[in-house]
Structure 1
Amino acid sequence: MPGAGSPPGLRQRIDAAWPGLTPAERQVAQFAAEHADDLAGFSGAEVAELAGASKATVSRFFRRLGYASYAQARAQARTDARALRARGVPTGGLPAGGTGPVDVHVAHDVDNLTRTAAHLAAEDLPAVVDLLAGARRVLVLGWRNSHPVALHLREQLLQARADVSVGPAPGQTVAEELTGLDGRDALVVVAFRRRTPDAAAVLRVAADLGVPCLLLTDPAAGPPPVPVAHRLVVPVEGPGAFDSYAAVMTTVAVLAEGVLARRGRAGRDRVRDVARAHRTLGELEEL
């Protein structure tokens, strides 16, 4: 819903104008309401064709809604869609025309990876790696879309060192995981959009406990509620309706590789011991 003082959205305008619309205009209204989140992707001619109305009816309908023209309504829809996407809401779709969907995604991911490389180059990655490699225990937390990232980071770190846990576990809370941590440990909070309030709450508790924290987040996030030891910002916006985690997973790989290298012989020994345990248990397919 629009906030106080902001102009009404497309659906609100349609609801207000509905009683006075002609049957032909109502056909356009139904199409516009169903496609309010991706209206920017349609030309006026396409709206007319898909709604089964004339181009004149389309123009008249949007003027009834208070727009100067369909072009103005389309521009507003594009702005609204961008605002929603910035919050992680899956709206819109891939750009019309141009190359195929795979090429569009690959090109966008390359751009995200380039931006990530520039950001990581400006950060003190050796200090981040030192924290993850040398901590007594490492706790990795992530909610919603961030949880698979947290789980993957935990699994990669666990190849090189022991005492790495992930949360929240299904049906569990995180208070039990946080209790007992102190300055000898490390907390990794994975908080990509759309974030829950839990991430900020956990950062505050960690600060009170004196636990050094690594925050993995995206450019749309505001500053953390309390200072953190390290903050890595990784772009996740995709070219269409959904976010892309290609750059995020590359960042996870960079961190895990760094920890394995920093652990030296102890890390190599653990990799060997884990592989031996896999063979003993018969857990993995032998190629």
Structure 2
Amino acid sequence: MGIIDETIRDKYAELTPQERKLADFMLDRPNDLAMFNSAELARLCGVSKATVSRMFKRLGFSSFKEGQMESRRQRQLGVPVVDSDSSIRTYAPHFEREIRNLQMLAQSLSEEQVQPVIEAMASARSVKVIGFRNSYPVALHIRQQLLQIRPSVDLAPLPGQTLAEELEGSGGDDLVIFIAFRRRPKIFEEVLKLVLQKNIPVLLIGDASLRKVAAKATWWLECPLESVSGFDAYSSAMSLATLLCNSLLHHIAVSGQARSLSISDSYRNLNELDFS
């Protein structure tokens, strides 16, 4: 049997609504499957024990117990036997998890899936990049890269500012890139609702916790954030940002390169950067 979370993602579209509740729990809390029995898991997810049994059979296991044993085996493989220094104990697994996240991102994307996004980024009259809290650094990075190769790219909300005025006047000719990783502020759903009401095309980038609303967006790209400890890992998100921006540069090579070279000349004229 392959990695459980990868199997869930592969079969997610085939799951019933009740089974998706269970799937979302397992994807959001990948280490917890090994800790609960089927009754506890059913109660935590608000589903029946029969739903738990059916889903694990759909994933290719003979029973919940077999799936749980596989989860425990995978969990044990990620905990090397070293000394009691916690920094050493998590060092190698940290990079293994980062690599795994990147592999999962690569497996979930295709050129055919990304190409319409790139075309929208190229043709949009303006691009608004929105990100709150831990999504803000990724949004800022995307905005900074895009601004070097195309005009009219704005970051929202700016520090200390609000969103309403930023979205006013935007419409179907524009594009919103919404970065929304877990532990989002409660205003997220209202902002998404407003953007959709304005008929603005939306590229939604987030983690598995957004899967329930992903269908509302024009395009949805999922980034795995799993880590070996308390803080989420954002290497896949930054890698996706680089992929999108590099792909756009190749798509608009002539105008993009011309803008980038012009900005570089301005850097030198203003003596802003050290080119030595």
Range of TM-score over shorter length: 0.5 to 0.7
1:56-95 to structure 2, matched below 5 A, reads 75=35, 95=79
Q: Give the deviation of 1:96 after TM superposition.
A: 6.8
> In structure 2, what is the Cα distance between the partners aligned to 1:108 and 1:176?
40
Specify the alignment match of 1:206 in structure 2: 195
The aligned residue for residue 161 of structure 1 is 150
**TM-score of the two chains, using structure 2 as the length reference:** 0.68
Structure 1 unaligned spans of 5+: 1-39, 41-73, 84-93
CA contact 1:200–1:225 (8 Å) conserved in 2: no
Say which of 201, 226, 235 aligns to 2:224.
235
- Give the distance between the partners of 2:165 and 2:254, measured in 1 at CA: 33
For residues 123 and 234 of structure 1, do their structure 2 counterparts lie closer, same or farther at Cα, with a shift above 3 Å needed? farther
Deviation at 1:119, TM superposition (A): 1.1
Q: Deviations over 1:74-107 (max 9, x none)?
A: 947xx99xx9xxxxxxxxxx95745753322111
8 Å CA contact 2:80, 2:89 repeated in 1: no
**SS of residue in 1 equivalent to 2:169:** coil
- CA deviation map 1:165-200 (0-9, x unaligned): 001111110000111000000001100011122222
- Structure 2 residue aligned with 1:113: 102
One-letter amino acid of the structure 1 residue matched with residue 135 of structure 2: S
Given candidates 122, 142, 147, the residue that maps to 2:131 is 142
Greater Cα offset, 197-206 or 235-244: 197-206
Aligned alpha-carbon RMSD (Å): 2.4
Q: Is the 8 A contact 2:149 2:256 kept in 1?
A: yes
User: Which of 247, 250, 265 in structure 1 is aligned with 2:236?
Assistant: 247
What is the match of residue 264 of structure 1?
253
Whether contact under 8 Å (1:216, 1:232) holds in the other structure is yes
Contact 1:235 1:247 in 2 (8 A): yes
Distance (whole Å) between structure 2 residues aligned to residue 282 and residue 205 of structure 1: 42
Change in 2 beyond 3 A, CA 1:173/1:280: same
How far apart are the structure 2 equivalents of 1:259 and 1:200?
Answer: 28
- Write the distance in 2 (CA, Å) between the matches of 1:192 and 1:125: 20
Which of 165, 169, 179 is residue 168 of structure 2 equivalent to?
A: 179
Residue 142 of structure 1 deviates from its aligned partner by: 0.5
Misfit runs of 4+, over 6 Å: none
Contact 1:140 1:154 in 2 (8 A): yes
- What pairs with 1:46-57 in structure 2 (closer than 5 Å)? none
Q: Give the residue type in structure 2 aligned to 1:251.
A: L
Native 8 Å contact 1:189 1:199 kept in 2: no
Q: Tell me the matched-pair count.
A: 201
Does residue 103 (structure 1) correspond to residue 92 (structure 2)? The answer is yes
2:148 touches 2:260 (CA, 8 Å); kept in 1? yes
Give the drift of 1:225.
7.5
Question: What is the alpha-carbon distance in structure 2 between the residues aligned to residue 179 and residue 225 of structure 1?
Answer: 24
The one-letter code of the counterpart of 2:267 is H
Q: Secondary structure at the match of 2:154?
A: strand
Cα distance in 2 between the residues matched to 1:116 and 1:270: 30
- Report the residue type matching 2:212 in the other structure: P
Question: How far 1:111 moved relative to its partner?
Answer: 0.4
The alpha-carbon deviation at position 122 of structure 1 amounts to 7.4
**Aligned mates of 2:182, 2:191 — CA distance in 1:** 16
Instruction: Report which of the two structures shows the higher radius of gyration computed on alpha carbons.
Output: 1
Q: Identity of aligned pairs, percent?
A: 33
* Conserved 8 A contact 1:157-1:164: yes
CA distance in 2, matches of 1:236, 1:139: 24
Q: Is the 8 A contact 2:214 2:220 kept in 1?
A: no
Distance 1:170 1:104 in 2: 36
